[in-house]
A and B are shown apart, each in its own frame.
Chain A
Amino acid sequence: MTVGYLVRRLFVFFIVLWLAATVNFLIPRISPVNPIRERLLQAVGQGGVSLAPMEEMVKSYEARFGLDKPMYVQYVNYMSDLFHLDFGYSITRFPNRVSDMILKALPWTLFLITVSTLLSFAVGTLLGALLAWSKSPRWIYWISPPLLTLSAIPYYLLGLVLIFFFAFLLKWFPLGGGYSLGTLPSMSLRFVQDALSHSVLPAASIILSGCGFWALSMRGMMVTTQGEDYMTLAEAKGLSDRRIFLRYGIRNAILPQTTSLALSLGYVVSGSVLVEVVFGYPGVGSLLWQAVRTFDYFIIYGVTFMIIVAIGLATLILDLVYPLLDPRISYQKS
């Protein structure tokens, strides 16, 4: 890996961050209605927020978006706040800071997304490879149509259907939430069990739908390796089918698959955010949903910015790890 590549890649990462921050800065300003001011006035009108913290909020609001200062000063201030991950206060649950609320929700989301994405990637890739492998057992071809159907369904719609059948009708799993009411999050065995049983269905909806997607693209890659000379050579050498399949077929076909993992992270995370909404899972997705419902704009901007940063980081790491997987790539400028 060359230094030049590293610098260029980091540059793209910072462009993404700058872009996300700028969108959050500009949208409220060019929108015909000023959503933040409107929401603050509405909160006072409803009496849902008492006047004393309201004053403080308006002050914090004006300090950040202060109409008294010129635009570029506002912009610089805004950027430096974001740099310290300071998103201001929640409007509806005032004394809470947005950054604290996000930090509280983040572990749930990270757990759900990481586990289910890795599982669906692994299972889907294996199934897709088997689908394109001429020596696979016959039954494997029967799973192709259901896989295709599942991949066409957005995660959260599949989640709705799963809730209905497995939680509402069969009552095998809880209806929603991240843990049973009345229990407090802790590291005890009982709580972990409880939390796991709550995350089975959300994870299943991501895995089932994701599996189809990964299987379809892996089948495409795997098919192209079938005709390659090295496959014929491996067969002529008398290597075992298992070895040809794993070391020659999958080893080569999985590389583009990893690239598309990096490219589709945005889609995967957006989908998982909506899955959280459907299940009332206590992650950042549900936080975002509540914020949209109550027009809590500081939370909306904070959550979206955090998600964009997280995905930017994940793709950056994947891109840097990629040459370890594929020795053919050296990242030298040709």
Chain B
Amino acid sequence: MTTSASGAAAPGSSGASAVSMDELFGRQSLGRAAVRFWRNNTQLCVGAGIILLLILMALFGPLWVDPKGAQVGRAVVEQPPSLKYPLGTDTVGRQMLPVVIYGTPLTMRVGLMAGCIGLGVGILFGFIAGYYGGWIDNLLRGAADVFLTVPGLMILVVIASSLHTALDVNTQALVVSTLAWMWPTRTIRSQVLTMRERTYIQVARLSGVSGLEIVFKEILPNLLPYLAASLVSAVSSAILASIGLEALGLGPQNEPTLGMTIYWAMYYTALIRGLWWWWAPPIAIIVLVFIGLFLISAGLDQIANPRLRRVVEK
């Protein structure tokens, strides 16, 4: 584990803690710095490791496994796992191993697209509301609060069911992103509010730096770890919303995303017929994705908010 951690850890550790030049460039102390980074950020490393593994599976899986096996009618139906079909096959003749390899990046793509849109809108709204204040702050904050109390899945169901026939991975991501901006808006706004009153911002303002320049040159860079944590949790809740829609059958009908695979397994009552290899792999991967993202965002939270770390350690 140390070997894999050292590669990812080195650049971060030099920034996170004061490391002397010797320690930075000496090979032995590089290892020590990696160990220290690992100790301080175990959650982040484990989470990143899990997600990295899944990404590697999606990248290199197709080299070993023919992705065509994910299509309907490519195998004998309802076979348990065997040498020929490593994860078995389903009722309509899809092989489960290719389905999982092909479906995992699709689900991640929906989450990443919707999460990025949500964070982007959240940054825009959060900065406008937090920095300018006044009536626009009241409006944006009010809108975010109202939408937060509404059960998002229900609105998404209404939108997705009216688009039903035209739903593919990209439109699904767009549908999910319509309700992905509230948490980022809320949290970024409160961060900007606290930052606005810091001395260095006031100094910049007094010396005549324009509002936009302050936002982009002073506030935004300071919020980067925080924004990264928000992005990760936005992606995670977007994935949650998308597989929730898919459990109701409101997903891309022709793509084997993880959620749709579970939906089809439920549709063909795989559960009470003992076809565990149909629904268990996608569930396992979804659980891994959520745990990985949760650990990453908890780890990033600690970096963004060192006070949290001290409190927890005490």
Contact with A along B121-162 (1 / 0, CB 8 A): 000000000000000000000100111111111110111011
Q: Is the CB of B164 within 8 A of A295?
A: yes
* Secondary structure type dominating chain A contacts: helix
Question: In the complex, which range does the number of interface residues on chain B fall in?
Answer: 35 or more
Kindly identify which residue among A164, A288, A301 contacts B276, using a CB–CB cutoff of 8 Å: A164
Cross-chain contact A12 with B146 (CB below 8 angstroms): yes
Q: Please, how many angstroms separate the alpha-carbon atoms of A154 and B153 in the complex? A: 13
Which stretch from B93-101, B190-198, B285-293 is at the chain A interface?
Answer: B285-293
- B contact residues around A27 at 8 Å (CB): 158-159, 162
Which chain A residues lie closer than 8 Å to B164 at the CB level?
Answer: 35, 295
Q: In the complex, which residues of chain A have a beta carbon less than 8 angstroms from the beta carbon of B155?
A: 20, 23, 304, 308
Tell me which of A148, A152, A157 contacts B262 (CB under 8 A): A157
Given A35-B161, A168-B272, also A308-B146 (CB < 8 A): no
Chain A residues with CB below 8 A from B146, complex form:
12, 15-16, 19
Cα of A33 to Cα of B164 in the assembled complex, Å: 9
* Contacting pair A154 B240 (CB below 8 A): yes
Stretch of A56-64, A75-83, A238-246, A267-275 contacting B (4+ beta carbons < 8 Å): A267-275
Does B294 reach chain A (CB closer than 8 Å)? yes
Q: Which of B18-26, B109-117, B244-252 contacts A (4 or more CB under 8 A)?
A: B244-252
For A288, list chain B residues within 8 Å (CB).
157, 248
- A176 and B148 CA atoms in complex are apart in Å by 32
Collect the chain A residues with CB atoms within 8 Å of residue B274's CB.
168
Q: Is B311 an interface residue (CB 8 A)?
A: yes
Contact: B243 with A154, CB < 8 Å? yes
A20 near B150 (CB under 8 angstroms)? yes
* Chain B 176-197 interface 0/1 with A at a Cβ cutoff of 8 Å (1 = within): 0000000000000000000000
Q: Which of B165, B271, B287, B311 contacts A152 (CB 8 A)?
A: B287
B237 to chain A, nearest CB (A): 9
Partner of A300, one of B148, B161, B271: B161
Return the contact of A307 from the options B151, B266, B287 (Cβ within 8 A). B151
Question: Cβ of A161: which chain B residues have Cβ within 8 Å of it?
Answer: 283
Given contacts A33-B165, A175-B272, contact A278 B266 (CB under 8 A): yes
Taken residue by residue from 145 to 175, chain A's Cβ proximity to chain B (1 for < 8 Å, 0 otherwise) reads as: 0001100111011001101100010000001
Rounded to whole angstroms, the CA-CA distance of A303 and B151 in the bound complex is: 12
Known: A227-B311, A270-B244, A277-B247. A160 touches B151 (CB 8 A): no
Check if B162 sits within 8 Å of A263, measured CB to CB.
no
Report how far A148 CA is from B290 CA in the complex, Å: 11
Q: Is the CB of B148 within 8 A of A227?
A: no
CB contact under 8 A between A19 and B262, given known A31-B162, A288-B157, A288-B248: no
Closest residue to A266 on the B side, CB-wise? Answer: B151
Asked whether A153 lies within 8 Å of B287 as measured between CB atoms, the reply is: yes
Contacts of B224 in A (CB 8 A): none
Point out the residues of chain A lying under 8 angstroms from B166, CB to CB.
Answer: 32-33
- Interface readout for A215-234 with B: 1 if CB under 8 Å, 0 if not? 00000000110110000000
Give chain B nearest CB distance to A57 CB in angstroms. Answer: 19
Cβ–Cβ < 8 Å partners of A156 in chain B:
247
The CA-CA distance from A31 to B248 in the complex, in Å, is 20
- 1/0 per residue, CB under 8 A from A, across B247-283: the answer is 1111000000000001000100001101010010001
The answer to whether A292 and B149 have CB atoms under 8 Å apart is no
Q: Does B217 contact A (CB under 8 A)?
A: no
Residues A153 and B290 in contact, CB atoms below 8 Å apart: yes
* Residues in A neighbouring B76, C-beta threshold 8 A: none
Interfacial residues of chain B within 40-88, with CB under 8 A of chain A in the complex: none
- Is B39 part of the contact surface with A, judged by Cβ < 8 Å? no
- Binary interface encoding of chain A residues 79-99 relative to chain B, with 1 for a CB under 8 A from any of its CBs, else 0: 000000000000000000000
Known: A152-B294, A224-B311. A292 touches B248 (CB 8 A): yes
Q: Are B247 and A274 in contact (CB under 8 A)?
A: yes
Q: Which residues of A have CB within 8 Å of B244?
A: 154, 270-271, 274
Instruction: Tell me whether A315 is interfacial, beta carbon within 8 Å.
Output: yes
B148 touches A263 (CB 8 A): yes
Chain B residue nearest in CB terms to A296:
B161
14 contacts between A and B (CB under 8 A): A19-B150, A31-B163, A148-B291, A156-B247, A157-B283, A163-B272, A164-B271, A223-B314, A266-B152, A297-B162, A308-B155, A311-B151, A312-B150, A315-B149
Contact residues of A with B, CB < 8 Å?
Answer: 12, 15-16, 19-20, 23-24, 27-28, 31-33, 35, 148-149, 152-154, 156-157, 160-161, 163-164, 168, 175-176, 223-224, 226-227, 262-263, 265-267, 269-271, 273-274, 277-278, 288-289, 292-293, 295, 297, 300-301, 303-304, 307-308, 311-312, 315
